[in-house]
Structure 1
């Protein structure tokens, strides 16, 4: 029989305590990749970059941004869901188009709940409609009157087919019994460029248009928040224009399915602290982005509920990506 001395037993005990620490390195121990599904320079890109930079300092590792636009803002999240390990080192922006788009496909490519680990709810967008300063329209009612008299003649840009702003414009056309021509782009900045160049009549998107309205080269016809935007006190809301609509499209951060709850907790806490940091508050104020913070449990519950709403909207408007 082998005899274990007191010193030997102590050595084994210490080794047993040390083994898990060696098997489970501290998280994070390398850079974290944050996939933003829009071109650089827009409001969400600016907010998420700021949050990532602040969170990276607390985490002790940089948060590296990768812009991956396409497919109405869903290419990036889809890639993360399908190709990334659930180790906490690849994250993406989760927005409402990611919930909606599978219901627009004959064969859905992802499950918006089951294929992701949802971490935190953050903020939303200031959406609105803006035109060139020298446009024939002075007001929203003038635009509607022209559209009614000229079906299909007016064009508007959004950041993609099946995005929240696209659905809002489809709803408005349905309510007004008018026909507009939709011109989708990969992001709001591209739509603003097209409007300024006269390639489309108006941009209906998040607030990439705001600096141009302030500079006097564009004019805002409406904002889609519950109250008038502080920067544009003379611009009416959709509710003031007669529509029972409020469109802010709240978004958050998610990762691939199967992430460790402990890692999720670390990421939630770092992102929450960054969201409430003065610099990120300043960025959100610059774009009039409303605070829509939800913790991990509440954010997942919100998304589960919202998926059913999006499914019903796609069916009601008969939206399809399959022609």
Structure 2
């Protein structure tokens, strides 16, 4: 009498025939690693960590955050691009690594558009024009006038060449016809430290300096966005004070190595979007001056392409090159 295959035998046969599908169905079966391509304390790091904990609870596996900074985010991006596309290695990055770095690093070791797969946008991050308390200008218009009267005598910091705060300052310099000295740092946190210490005059802050604004240790003059921040409704945008169309917003989010199973990407996108809707995460992102930005992977990819066109124009105009 012919024996019919058992359910286990059928499952093993299916696993052998379609190993990728089986692996995706079993995912996750071990800890996930999220590489942040900027130093601890910056916006990317803070956003990654606030999402990692609830993501860990949702997936039932540890989610470990690892900082791997350098080359404007390229070191961390390279590590993820070359990792196994199995859903266990993710990247948390500013949008700049995908939409800006290809314009300023002619010989990148990977192609962000081809070697990385958008998984989930996390937050739209604004930049805030902040100055040291003793800066002579008391508002944004006076600040721009002061820069015009003192070409090359004022300095500003950034997390590095081509970072969104750097591009915001270059956009401002271009539109206002002013000049100030750029001092690049390896991350937003050390730039903020030197602004607080008086070594710099101003900074386009990606949100980590806002507690110092509220405490009176820094003065907020303007928002580098097309709309005002809900945290500071009385503070004008640079568009409002004469720099028409000024928009330096970027979107931070999660990426995976190209070829990661679609089922895994869909699950991660679903969980991150759900987490972005929770009160605790909304509050933490808002404290950075940002806004949760749930998107599908396709929408996230389209946004990166649009930003690439926008920032590429200022990079070519100002002849910005990577560190």
TM, length-normalised to structure 1: 0.90
- For residue 88 of structure 2, what is the aligned residue in structure 1? 89
Measured in 2, the distance between the counterparts of 1:160 and 1:319 equals 11
Q: Which residue matches 1:133?
A: 133
Deviation of 1:81 after TM superposition, in Å, equals 1.2
Q: What aligned pairs does 1:211-290 form with structure 2 within 5 A after superposition?
A: 211-243=211-243, 244-290=245-291
Shift of 1:177: 1.6
Deviations 1:258-309 (A, max 9, x none): 1111111121112111111222112112222123221112222332343344
Matched position secondary structure for 2:294: strand
SS of the residue corresponding to residue 34 of structure 1 reads: strand
Deviation at 1:88, TM superposition (A): 0.7
- CA-CA distance at 1:198 after TM superposition: 1.2
1:149-191 C-alpha deviation (Å, 9 max, x unpaired): 2221100011110112211211211122211101111222211
Deviation at 1:109, TM superposition (A): 2.9
Residues 69-218 of structure 1: pairs in structure 2 closer than 5 A:
69-82=69-82, 84-98=83-97, 99-218=99-218
Secondary structure of 2:221's aligned partner: strand
Partners of 1:302 and 1:143 in 2: CA distance: 32
CA contact (8 A) 1:121 1:293 kept: yes
Worse-superposed segment, 306-315 or 159-168: 306-315
Could you give the per-residue CA deviations for residues 186-231 of structure 1, whole angstroms, max 9, x where no partner exists?
A: 2222111101111111121211111111101111111123332233
- Whether 2:26 is the aligned partner of 1:9: answer no
Q: CA deviation at 1:19?
A: 4.1
2:189, 2:11 → 1: CA distance? Answer: 54
Q: Distance in 2 between matches of 1:225 and 1:314?
A: 18
Provide TM-score, normalisation by structure 2.
0.90
- CA radius of gyration, larger in: 1
8 Å CA contact 1:124, 1:251 repeated in 2 = yes
Over aligned residue pairs, what C-alpha RMSD do you find?
2.0
Question: Secondary structure of 1:293's partner?
Answer: coil
> 1:46-85, aligned counterparts within 5 Å?
46-82=46-82, 84-85=83-84
* CA distance in structure 2 between the partners assigned to 1:321 and 1:251 by the alignment: 20
Name the CA shift for 1:81/1:9 in 2 (closer, same or farther; >3 Å): same
CA spacing shift, 1:281–1:155, aligned 2, 3 Å: same
Residues 1:36 and 1:145: Cα distance change in structure 2 (over 3 Å): same
The answer to whether the Cα contact below 8 Å between 1:157 and 1:184 also exists between their aligned partners in 2 is yes
Q: Deviations over 1:23-55 (max 9, x none)?
A: 635101111001112222333322221211111
Map 1:296-315 → 2, pairs under 5 A: 296-315=297-316
Q: Aligned with 1:143: secondary structure?
A: helix
CA contact (8 A) 1:92 1:255 kept: yes
Relative to structure 1, the CA distance from residue 173 to residue 74 in structure 2 (aligned partners, 3 Å threshold; closer, same or farther) is: same
Deviation at 1:146, TM superposition (A): 2.5
Inter-partner Cα distance in structure 2 for 1:303 and 1:242:
27
In 2: Cα distance, 1:228 partner to 1:297 partner: 27
CA contact (8 A) 1:128 1:207 kept: yes
Q: Offset at 1:242?
A: 0.9
**Partner deviation per Cα, 1:43-100 (whole Å, 9 max, x = no partner):** 3322221211111111111111011222223331222113x11111110124332121
Distance in 2 between residues matched to 1:248 and 1:309, nearest whole Å: 11
Residue 39 (structure 1) aligns with: 39
